[in-house]
C-alpha cells in the first residue's frame, strides 16, 4: 500500500517513484529539505553559504531558514523580494545568484498560500541550474490545482490534506542527485532518509487523493468560473474592493480580497456570523488575526487588510453569492452615509 501510494504521489508531480519520501506533513518536509541539503553539502565539502528565500514563503520555510542561518557557521539568510503583484523579483534573484559569494539554496513556493499567485518556477529553475544553486519548491498550495514538475527542482514539498487526504501526512520529492542528510534516524525506513514507522492510513489516503486530483480538469474549470464570478460580483457591488494579485496568474480556487477601511478581523467575524468560513491569511493561520507578511512583502498599504476566500469541490454559486452579500452588508453598516 505504501509503494502504491508512492507511485501515485510521484505521478502527480511527474517524478520517479523512489524519489518520494513520506513525512508527517509539509512542515517536516521543508525542514528535511533545508537542513538536509545544508548538512549533506558540508559533508561533501561543497558547503552552502547562502539561503535565498522569497519573502512570501510559508513560515515553515522562513523560520527553518532563519534557524539554520543562526546556528550554522558561515551560512546566511537573504530574503528575495517580490513585486507588487506578489511575484518573485527575478532581477533581484539574478543579481543574488550572480554574486560570487558561495553556493546557494533557493526556496520559492510554486503558488502562494494567501494570494494564490503562481510563481515562475520554470524560469527560476533555469537560473538556479545555471548558477549551480539548489532549489526547494514548496508545492503544497499548488498540488492538484495546476500542473507540477518535480524535475525542475532539487526538492519539492507536498501535503496530503491539501488534496483531500487525512491530516498528518506529507512528502518530500527529492531529485536523485540532490545531497540530503536524514534528520530522523532509526530503523532506516525510506532508504534511510526518514526513519520511523510509516503512517499507513495517512499515506494510503495521500495516494488515493493524488490519483483523484490528476483527473479533475473539469472541476478546476468549474472552480475557476466560480472564483471569477465571485470577484466580478464583489466589484460590481463594491467597486472599491481590491483583489490581490489580480493581474497575474493565480490558482483557480483562491481569492484574496480587501475592502479599504475594513479590518480583516471585522470581515472574518461578520462573515462567520453569517455562516461563511474564510481566513485572514493562510489556512493554517485561520482563527488568528495578525498582519500578513505576504501582503507586507507586496508593499500593500496598511489600510488594505484582506481576507482569503477559498473555493473547493463542495462550493456552489450560492456560497459565492453569500460571501458577496455578507461583505456588502458589512460595508453598508460601516459606511451608512455612503450606503444611503
Tens-digit pLDDT profile for residues 169-222: 999 999 988 999 999 999 999 999 999 999 999 999 999 999 999 988 889 999
DSSP assigned state of 119: P
Count Cβ atoms below 10 Å from residue 162 Cβ, excluding itself.
22
Nearest-CA neighbor of 261 among 302, 311, 321, 313? 302
Q: What is the DSSP string of 176-212?
A: TT-----SS-SS-TGGGTS-S---HHHHHHHHHHHHH
Q: What are the start-end ranges of the H helices in 141-183?
A: none
What's the CA gap between 323 and 275, in Å, rounded? Answer: 9
- pLDDT at site 289: 56
- pLDDT at site 335: 83
| Residue pointed to by grid coordinates 478546476 | 220
CA atoms within 13 A on the CB side of 293: 14
Q: What is the CATH number of domain 217-339?
A: 3.90.1150.10
**pLDDT tens sequence across 41-66:** 988 788 999 999 999 999 999 999 99
Mean pLDDT of successive 10-residue stretches along the chain, which has 340 residues: 98 97 98 97 89 98 98 95 97 94 94 97 98 97 96 98 96 94 95 95 98 89 96 96 96 94 90 92 55 90 81 94 95 77
What's the CA gap between 10 and 34, in Å, rounded? Answer: 21
- pLDDT at site 215: 82
Positions marked catalytic: 284
Sign of CA dihedral 174, 180, 185, 186: positive
- pLDDT at site 338: 64
- pLDDT at site 46: 87
- pLDDT at site 340: 53
Collapsed DSSP state (helix, strand, coil) of residue 132: coil
- pLDDT at site 291: 73
CATH architecture of the domain formed by 2-213: 3-Layer(aba) Sandwich (3.40)
- pLDDT at site 217: 83
Query: So where are the chain's domains?
Result: 2-213, 217-339
Count Cβ atoms below 10 Å from residue 37 Cβ, excluding itself.
25
- pLDDT at site 43: 82
Q: 185, 202 in Cβ contact below 8 A?
A: no
Q: Angle at CA 305, nearest 5°, toward 299 and 310?
A: 105
- Scored b (16 or more CB within 10 A) or e, 176-190 reads eebbbebbbeeeebb
Amino acid at each position: 500500500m505504501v509503494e502504491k501510494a508512492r507511485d501515485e504521489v510521484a505521478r502527480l508531480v511527474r517524478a520517479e517513484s523512489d524519489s518520494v519520501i513520506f513525512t508527517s506533513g509539509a512542515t517536516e518536509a521543508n525542514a528535511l529539505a533545508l537542513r538536509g541539503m545544508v548538512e549533506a553539502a558540508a559533508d561533501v565539502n561543497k558547503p552552502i553559504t547562502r539561503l535565498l528565500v522569497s519573502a512570501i514563503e510559508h513560515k515553515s520555510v522562513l523560520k527553518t531558514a532563519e534557524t539554520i542561518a543562526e546556528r550554522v557557521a558561515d551560512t546566511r539568510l537573504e530574503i528575495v523580494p517580490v513585486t507588487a503583484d506578489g511575484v518573485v523579483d527575478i532581477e533581484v534573484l539574478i543579481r543574488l545568484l550572480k554574486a560570487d559569494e558561495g553556493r546557494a539554496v533557493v526556496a520559492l513556493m510554486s503558488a502562494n498560500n494567501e494570494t494564490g499567485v503562481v510563481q515562475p518556477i520554470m524560469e527560476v529553475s533555469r537560473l538556479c541550474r545555471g548558477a549551480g544553486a539548489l532549489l526547494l519548491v514548496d508545492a503544497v498550495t499548488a498540488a492538484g490545482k495546476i500542473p507540477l514538475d518535480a524535475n525542475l527542482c532539487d526538492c519539492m514539498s507536498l501535503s496530503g490534506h491539501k488534496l483531500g487526504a487525512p491530516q498528518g501526512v506529507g512528502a518530500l520529492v527529492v531529485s536523485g542527485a540532490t545531497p540530503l542528510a536524514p534528520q530522523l534516524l532509526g530503523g532506516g525506513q525510506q532508504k534511510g532518509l526518514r526513519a520511523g514507522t510509516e503512517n499507513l492510513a495517512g499515506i494510503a489516503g495521500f495516494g488515493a487523493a493524488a490519483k483523484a486530483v490528476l483527473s479533475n480538469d473539469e472541476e478546476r474549470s468549474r472552480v475557476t468560473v466560480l472564483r471569477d464570478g465571485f470577484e466580478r460580483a464583489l466589484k460590481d457591488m463594491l467597486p472599491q474592493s481590491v483583489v490581490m494579485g489580480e493581474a497575474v496568474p493565480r490558482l483557480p480556487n483562491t481569492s484574496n480580497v480587501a475592502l479599504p477601511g475594513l479590518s480583516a478581523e471585522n470581515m472574518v467575524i461578520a462573515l462567520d456570523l453569517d455562516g461563511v468560513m474564510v481566513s485572514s491569511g493562510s489556512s493554517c493561520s485561520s482563527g488568528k488575526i495578525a498582519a500578513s507578511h505576504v501582503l507586507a512583502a507586496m508593499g500593500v498599504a496598511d489600510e488594505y487588510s484582506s481576507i482569503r476566500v477559498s473555493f473547493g469541490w463542495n462550493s456552489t454559486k450560492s456560497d459565492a453569492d453569500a460571501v458577496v452579500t455578507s461583505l456588502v452588508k458589512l460595508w453598508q453598516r460601516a459606511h451608512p452615509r455612503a450606503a444611503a
